[in-house]
Amino acid sequence: MLNSTSSYFVLAAYFHVGNLRYLYFKLTALLYIVIVFVNIFLIVVICMNRSLHEPMYMFLCSLFVNELYGSSGLFPFLLTQILSDIHTVSASLCFLQVYCLYTYASIELCNLVIMSYDRYLAICCPLQYNTRMSLNKVFIFIIAVWLYSFVKFLITFSLALRLTLCENILNSFLYCHNYLIVKLSCSDTRWNNIYGLFGTAVSILVPLFPIIFSYMKILHICFSGSKQTRQKAVSTCTPHLVSLLNFSFGCFFEIIQTRLDMNSVPSVLRIVLSLYFVIIQPLLNPIMYGLQMSKIRNTCKILCCYKILTVHRDLTLT
Domain that holds residue 132: 8-317
Whether residue 178 lies inside any domain: the answer is: yes
Whether residue 152 lies inside any domain: the answer is: yes
Q: How far apart are CA 39 and CA 230, in angstroms?
A: 29
Whether residue 137 lies inside any domain: the answer is: yes
* Distant-in-sequence, close-in-space partners of 276: CB < 8 Å, separation ≥ 6: 249, 250, 253
Q: How confident is the model at residue 5 (pLDDT cuts 50, 70, 90)?
A: very low
**What is the pLDDT of the chain when averaged over all its residues?**
81
Whether residue 226 lies inside any domain: the answer is: yes
Biggest alpha carbon–alpha carbon distance for the chain = 74
pTM to 2 decimals? 0.85
Q: How far apart are CA 78 and CA 55, in angstroms?
A: 35
Output the domain CATH number for residue 83. 1.20.1070.10
Question: Alpha carbon 213 to chain centroid distance?
Answer: 23
Whether residue 36 lies inside any domain: the answer is: yes
Closest CA to 146 of 111, 178, 119, 115: 111
pLDDT in tens, 101-114: 889 999 999 999 99
Amino acid 238: pLDDT? 81
Whether residue 1 lies inside any domain: the answer is: no
Whether residue 2 lies inside any domain: the answer is: no
Whether residue 3 lies inside any domain: the answer is: no
Give the chain's domain count. Answer: 1
Average pLDDT over residues 255-269: 71
Q: How confident is the model at residue 269 (pLDDT cuts 50, 70, 90)?
A: confident
